[in-house]
Chains A and B, each alone.
Chain A
Amino acid sequence: MKTKTISAVARKEYYHLIRDFRSLYLAFAIPVILILLFGYALSLDVDNIRVAVVDYDRTDLSRDFLNSLSSSPYFLITGHLRDLESVSTELDYGRITLAIVIPPGWTGMIRSDKIAPLQIILDGSDPNFSNIARTYITAFVDRYNNRLFEDYLNRHTLGKIKPPLEGRIRVWFNEDLESRNFIIPGIIAIIIMIVGAILTSLVIAREFENGTMETIRSLPITASELLLGKSIPYFFIGLTDVLIAVLMSQILFGVVMKSSFLFMILASSLYLMVALALGLLISSVTKSQLIANQGAILLTYLPSLLLSDFIFPVTNMPKILQILTYLVPATYYVDILRGVYLKNLGFSEMWPNYAVLAVMVLMLMSLNIVTLRKEGL
């Protein structure tokens, strides 16, 4: 392996890259677009649940109940409706997620120490959202219940009795439980795959399609020199994209690394190399830019998004898919990102992830070399 030959290939590849408008666009617009899109549009947090209320009771107590509901940041009361029929219309049009119906004589039931029912209707068509909404409203009703219970105890001068258990919850790592704090760094895994694998998937197929592979074969260039030379320009583009993403998440969304930048850049380099090797392999196996491109999207981008524990929790998946996630490089990188951005972990906790990525690079590169040697290189 000679560095001069590698740089010869790298230089040529750089010319191809700067002349190819589509690749350049993909390389620099994609990270910006994805960060903006995921950062602003994709939020897994639930607040401002739209609620409609029907108050058949109309007493001080029912009004107090609704007032404290509307003062919670999680709920937004969009309207006080007359009857159940209009509730059903609002739900049909999707204008509300939740409806609360206070039946007539509700306050009377409470005062006479009977159980007072409260009807809560939830729109289940978005199961994720309504599940969270259900948890919130249940918690809210519980709290209100406690307040009524304390009032009752005070009224009967039994104020000193307290419930025996009290859970004191403290959230670690992502204290505000803001999904954005993890989604934004997580997108870097997607960006690297797109830039690393989808761009390089074109690179060797192009040589086959142009007939220039025949020239390469006749020149003193070895398979590893060709692969390294072709990777270098894309490696730098990938790293630039990582920096763009890191800066954008910090400046636009205030998402800051808790651990050292060094861990981050080391992991990103390894993961980027996996992506590059994967793209090149797809390229030399398919020998067609079109098929390679499709293959790269299917084999790299989608698994990184779906099977990496980034957005969709792996623990909820069927066993076979769970096993499959071990083959997805993004799984390890996303885990490192979580360690760096949220948990302030160091090398002693995260080294297995680094090791797996390094092994993946070596294996893919050897596979690449074998494939190219078979092609007469």
Chain B
Amino acid sequence: MILHSNKIKNFEKTNGDTFIEVVDLSIQYGGVWAAKDICLRIHKGEIFGIVGSDGAGKSTLLRAMATLIPPTTGHITIEKFDTSADRKFVKSILGYMPQRFALYPDLTVLENMEFFMDVFHMEKQKRGIMRNKFLAFTKLEPFSDRRAGDLSGGMKQKLGLACVLLHEPKVLILDEPTNGVDPLSRMEFWQMLTRMRNEDCMTIVVATSYLDEGEKCDRLALMHNSELIEVAAPVILRKGFADLEEAIIDRLTKTDRELAYDTFRR
């Protein structure tokens, strides 16, 4: 079986420190399996992309990594800490940005940031430094007194990023962060991600439906029907194809055919 051999391959490809380890993860969510037998190792300081069709289980995998859903079977560790058993600690070293804008529209940019700093019990001297750093980083300084609800789509996402960065997490988990954002803002957003990887050795796990963004990841995981199909660097994935899009479509149709064949044989 192709799936089985892939699983082994994912582990073999490991080089560098494993930062996030997903072991035999299956999640049953509302009566259906939203993730099936997922094994995965994500290294420190890499941008790890997750691509796949809608409903493939990308969000479920990310939410499980962010400690929001407990695994039905299997487990996830981040820096050797279990997402269920050491949930509170894991939460303190990760920053998670959900798919939908999840900040307070009636609070200003600054007040939203302050809430995050309050929750992480940040000391007084550090607050000012971090606030200014990330306001500058996201270019949101001119809008610091604007209500978050009045920001444009791109600015909202930047604010979301600024908020989850304030407590200096070691890992960022981003669920389609640039969905519905204009191309220029998307480019800026990705420049920020690459800078964080290069300068702070940040580990970034990002789900995306834009394949030009997939191209910018160090490695890509391809998900389909709640299963992990393949994990590889974008260059390797698209070998023999015109571009990444074609390569991925080819793999997805192949899996569908195999699935159809399996069902038929049974």
Contacts and interface: CB of A to CB of B under 8 A. Distances in A.
Contact of A220 (B92, B102, B105, B115): B92
B106 A220 contact: no
A215 B121 contact: no
B258 interface: no
A211 B119 contact: no
B120 A220 contact: yes
B102 A212 contact: yes
B98 A211 contact: yes
Contact of A11 (B102, B105, B115): B115
Contacts of B118: 4-5, 7-8, 11-12
Interface stretch (B16-24, B64-72, B219-227): B64-72
Interface string A208-250: 0011101101111100000000000000000000000000000
Q: Main SS of the interface on chain B?
A: loop
A218 B92 contact: no
A376 interface: yes
Interface stretch (A13-21, A90-98, A182-190, A309-317): A13-21
A226 to B, nearest CB: 10
Interface string A77-112: 000000000000000000000000000000000000
Interface residues of B, number: 26
B106 A8 contact: no
Given A7-B118, A20-B106, A219-B119, A211 B91 contact: no
A2 interface: yes
Nearest to B117: A8
B115 A12 contact: yes
Interface string A292-332: 00000000000000000000000000000000000000000
Nearest to A11: B118
Given A5-B121, A8-B119, A212 B103 contact: yes
A220 B101 contact: no
A220 B88 CA distance: 6
Contacts of A19: 106-107
B100 A220 contact: no
Interface in B105-151: 105-107, 111, 114-116, 118-121
Nearest to B160: A215
A233 to B, nearest CB: 14
Nearest to B147: A19
A168 B61 CA distance: 82
B11 interface: no
B48 interface: no
Contacts of B88: 220
Contacts of B189: none
A218 B115 CA distance: 14
Nearest to B89: A220
Contacts of A210: 102, 104-105
Given A4-B121, A219-B91, A214 B100 contact: yes
A12 B91 CA distance: 20
A12 B148 CA distance: 14
Pick the most buried of A9, A11, A212, A376: most chain B CB atoms within 10 A of its CB. A212
A221 B121 CA distance: 11
Given A15-B106, A220-B91, A376-B69, A215 B111 contact: no
Contacts of A5: 118-119, 121
A16 B108 CA distance: 11
A3 to B, nearest CB: 10
Pick the most buried of B92, B103, B119: most chain A CB atoms within 10 A of its CB. B119
B111 A218 contact: no
A317 to B, nearest CB: 44
A2 B106 contact: no
Nearest to B121: A4
A177 B170 CA distance: 71
Nearest to B107: A15
A220 B94 CA distance: 10
Contacts of A12: 104, 107, 111, 115, 118
Interface of A: 2, 4-5, 7-9, 11-12, 15-16, 19-20, 210-212, 214-215, 217-221, 376
6 nearest A-B residue pairs (beta carbon): A8-B118, A218-B96, A214-B98, A215-B102, A211-B100, A220-B91
Given A214-B98, A219-B120, A220-B119, 8 more contacts: A4-B121, A8-B119, A11-B115, A11-B118, A15-B111, A16-B106, A218-B68, A219-B91
6 contacts: A5-B121, A15-B107, A210-B104, A211-B100, A214-B100, A376-B69
Interface of B: 66-69, 88, 91-92, 94, 96, 98, 100-107, 111, 114-116, 118-121
